[in-house]
Amino acid sequence: MEAMERIIRLHIEKLPEGVYLATSEDVQGLVTEAPSLQEAIEWGRENARLLLELQGRKDAGLEFRESLEVPVVIAA
């Protein structure tokens, strides 16, 4: 099956810490932090693709509503 192309708008902001934050009103839950502008665009695009793929799967085991909380583990 051929992938469908979609245009989304990324909002990119440089934070005081020197990193770039990419979000989008077009893709629920998209928040990506990157060390450079180019990486913020690339990572934002890839994360948007993954989120849209998950939202489109009926068998993904996730229900997207107005908001979603997902626990994640990070190394501090």
Angle in degrees, CA 44, 49, 51, rounded to 5: 90
Higher local confidence (pLDDT), 40 or 1: 40
pLDDT tens digits, 26-58: 888 899 999 999 999 999 999 988 888 887 765
Higher pLDDT pick, 64 / 12: 12
* pLDDT on residue 31: 94
Distances (CA, A) of 38 to 5, 24, 28, 34: 21, 16, 22, 9
pLDDT tens for 3-19 read: 667 788 899 999 999 99
- Overall pTM > 0.85: no
